[in-house]
Amino acid sequence: MKLFLKNLLFALFLSICNISVAQNNEIVISGILIEEASNQPIPYATIALYKKSSKGIITGTTTDNNGKFQFSTTKTDFYIEISFMGYATKTISDFSIKNAKIDLGTIRLAEDNEALEEVVVTGNVSKTVFKLDKRVFNIGKDISSTGASALEVLNNVPSVNVNIEGEVSLRGSSGVQILINGKPSVLADESSNALGTITADMIESIEVITNPSAKYEASGTAGILNIILKKEEKKGWNGSISLNTGIPDNHSIGISLNRRTEKFNLFTQIGAGYRSLPRDNEAINTNLTSNEVVFSEGTEYRDETFYNITLGTDYHINDYNVLTLSGNFAYEIEDQPSETNFRFFDSNNTLVSSWLRDETTEATNPKYQYEFNYKKQFKNNEDHSLQLSALGRFFGKDQESQFTNTTITGSDSDSKQQTETNFQQADYTFKIDYTNPISEKYTIETGAQYVINDVGNDYEVRDFTGINYVVNEDLTNNFEYNQKVLGVYFTGAYELEKWGIKAGLRIENTDLETLLTNTNESNSQNFTDYFPTFHTSYKVSENVSLQAGYSRRIFRPRLWDLNPFFNIRNNFNIRQGNPDLQPEFTDSYELTSIYKIGKASFSSSLYHKYTTEVIERVSSSIDNVTTTTPENIGTNASIGFETNGKYSPTKWLTLTGDFNYNYFDRVGTFEAESFDFSGRQWSSRLGTKIGLPADIDVELTGRYQSSFETIQGDISGYGFLDLGIRKKIIKGKAVVNLGIRDLFESRIQESYVYQPTFETYSFSQRGRFITLGLSYGFGKGEAMTYSGGRRR
């Protein structure tokens, strides 16, 4: 390992040693630009040189993500002008040249209050910033997301889609790794259904990483979504309080408080509320051999009372050392009253019987997380740092369900069942990261991570015999899942003013053990994999940039993919896991261009992915009962094109949009059946934000997802529209928001399975959600819309 890393670094230095340096007669100008009020760096500000005599421009550059800039000139008679929208322009004409260098040091820009008033609408619009190996979607005050959860926010991010079930996909592919502040989190765990506890106002930005560097965990064949939460930097007391109500029931209160001093930053967020989340479902199972048909339709509810609190502190030991301690606790009480109507028809399309299946489910879900983080910055360079972190998280579910079948017509279908679930998940993550900018051009990164996932799911089904309830051994199971992943990485980067390159390697060892205790069936996997990454970028001009990237990724089967438990909510449509499932591996290639045309900015990408051991959900049918199980089936090769852009023709109007198209080629065989086929899918999103008089903003966002073919059928397309209206009051300290998601109730999930002996059809819909929110900011805080809300 050490020898490989040394050779990699040596090769990197060797490959760039012939690059020419600046000419001796050039003057190198450098500095750091920060905001006067907060001391935060200002990225992408314009630094320009002008001739003193003619006022004509000589050359210029922009600041990087850390507010730094460096460029050169052969001229000597010039002055420097620094500008950025919303800040007062600064002119520097008094400077000294030493050793052909002009070091401007730290430059502070003050806010231009008049300019800020003029651009208040565009300043609130979410925008995307491009970095060497990721895109950063900075979250604006998107009105339609008022009172919404992180899942709704993700649905507004270019390249990302969230379906009705809450499954997140990136460029049409599932297998997305979701992080919170760069780390795994109980708030982002799919099995805990917890992304809903993060609300739109809590999010600073979302990093979309389609080709992650070796620094990131290799999980997620589609890529990584890193949710960055806000942390108040203003000194003194800051806070806000919000109230939300809505239809269906959506009532909550949230409080955010922050106290910052020279040494400490104390922060807390508290939320409580109640929500009802209905969903309409329909399914049709057709037996093509007997021509029998089973219809089922009904409405599922998940009524939730929830409480959560976050506490944390940053302790600045000195200018170079910071300790962070934080914790989060959430508690949910679920009530799931659901009702499904079943109808059974024979081969002559005659109704044989119909019955009603009632479900009463109650559950409590405690979850908590705690984190320790230490960061040391070295005196020679603020980017030279060492970071240590330890994270613990827990999620539990104690659930009981009662199912009652009541005959309506025909043959007797009366029956009763009970289920009980005791689920516990504990995860621990330990990380060390070291970054060293050896010079202004060379940077190395290295580190390690150890992740432990320990999960148990005790699931019991009981049938009523007429006298008492008896355990159904065929459906009862106790599944244990234990996974340990150790990863180490190294990256080296070389960056010039216009060109940069970054290469790395990550090595991960996976040790997985599963056990089905009632049958003593076990599965053990231990494997080591190598994950190389490569990124490069070239700045053609001030308005055109190019990026290219490659990464190798892995998707490890999760608990619900491996656990062979049966879900008996609908006895005719069952999902179960596969303990023998193997991980997917994906090689991903991407070429991106970023360009500006007048008041419009665009980016376009060509990408190619090749995945082996593809995990697909395969359906089979026996006695009109359809069972769906994940299986490893062959390979998938896809090539796609994506473009997104933003256009602001006036100060009061901003238009945004994105479009993604990909063509895929599936090759595979399962149980002597060929699954070779080709298909395509595309999606688009269009949004507009309009600033009206009297501090009123209106926002419209429309999205369309095309239909696409699956290995056994297809999934229908759908489109939907979100609407938001905002009114500022009390000089902007308070905000009233109205949000309507799925205005025309057109967001559906519809799928078909076509097989020689059976066909299935399924449909689900959430419907329209209306929210009304009032938020007020006090101290130095701003109005926000924290609701502690759950996902839709």
Half-sphere exposure of 174 (CA within 13 A, CB side): 15
**Distance set, CA 327 to CA 60, 247, 276, 312, 778 (Å):** 45, 32, 27, 6, 24
Asked if residue 488 has pLDDT above 90, the reply is: yes
φ/ψ (deg, to 5) at 152: -65, -40
Yes or no: say if 77 and 47 are a contact pair by the CB < 8 Å rule: no
Asked if residue 575 has pLDDT above 50, the reply is: yes
CA distance 784 to 249: 21
Yes or no: say if 621 and 758 are a contact pair by the CB < 8 Å rule: yes
Please write the tens of the pLDDT for every residue from 218-227.
887 677 777 7
Q: What is the pLDDT of residue 188?
A: 55
φ/ψ (deg, to 5) at 194: -105, -5
Yes or no: say if 607 and 639 are a contact pair by the CB < 8 Å rule: yes
Percentage of the residues of the chain whose pLDDT score is greater than 70: 82
CA distance 85 to 575: 53
Q: What is the dihedral of CA 209, 210, 216, 219, to 10 degrees?
A: 130
Which of the two residues, 87 and 97, has the higher pLDDT score? 97
- Going by C-alpha positions, the residue among 77, 78, 101, 105 that lies closest to residue 24 is 101
Q: What is the pLDDT of residue 112?
A: 58
Q: What is the DSSP string of 38-66?
A: T--B-TT-EEEEEETTT--EEEEEE--TT
Asked if residue 600 has pLDDT above 60, the reply is: yes
Residue 461, strand partner residues: 419
Interacting residues of 134 by C-beta distance below 8 A, sequence separation 6+: 207, 208, 209, 212, 226
Annotated domain spans of the chain: 2-116, 236-779
Same fold, 2-116 and 236-779: no
Q: What is the DSSP string of 163-215?
A: -TT--EEETTB--EEEEETTB--GGG-GGGT-GGGSBGGGEEEEEEESS--TT
Give CA angle at 374 (369, 378), nearest 5°: 155
Q: What is the pLDDT of residue 290?
A: 93
Q: What is the pLDDT of residue 143?
A: 46
Please write the tens of the pLDDT for every residue from 21-68.
333 468 889 889 888 766 777 876 778 888 877 666 777 787 876 788
Yes or no: say if 155 and 142 are a contact pair by the CB < 8 Å rule: no
**Distance set, CA 295 to CA 282, 360, 473, 572 (Å):** 8, 21, 28, 9
CA distance 668 to 679: 14
Q: What is the pLDDT of residue 38?
A: 65
Which of the two residues, 641 and 166, has the higher pLDDT score? 641
**pTM over 0.85, yes/no:** no
> What is the CATH code for 2-116?
2.60.40.10
Q: What is the pLDDT of residue 522?
A: 86
Residue 455, strand partner residues: 425, 481
Mean pLDDT of 201-217: 77
Please write the tens of the pLDDT for every residue from 520-571.
888 888 999 999 999 998 888 878 888 899 999 998 888 778 887 766 777 7
Work out the number of other CB atoms within 10 angstroms of the CB of residue 203.
Answer: 20
- Going by C-alpha positions, the residue among 381, 491, 489 that lies closest to residue 437 is 381
Q: Which token pair is 219?
A: 């999980």
b/e per residue 166-177 (b: at least 16 CB within 10 A): eebbbbbbebbb
Residue 650, strand partner residues: 653
Asked if residue 425 has pLDDT above 80, the reply is: yes
| Three-state DSSP class for residue 8 | helix
Asked if residue 792 has pLDDT above 80, the reply is: no
Asked if residue 200 has pLDDT above 70, the reply is: no
- Going by C-alpha positions, the residue among 149, 151, 182, 185 that lies closest to residue 169 is 151
Quote the mean pLDDT of the chain.
81
**Residue that has been written with the tokens 């979410």 in this structure:** 126
Yes or no: say if 502 and 492 are a contact pair by the CB < 8 Å rule: yes
Weakest-pLDDT range from 3-12, 607-616, 681-690: 3-12
Mean pLDDT of 254-276: 82
φ/ψ (deg, to 5) at 113: -60, -40
Asked if residue 782 has pLDDT above 70, the reply is: no
Please write the tens of the pLDDT for every residue from 305-330.
989 888 888 888 888 898 989 888 98
Please write the tens of the pLDDT for every residue from 520-532.
888 888 999 999 9
- Going by C-alpha positions, the residue among 494, 382, 380, 385 that lies closest to residue 32 is 382
> What is the CATH code for 236-779?
2.40.170.20
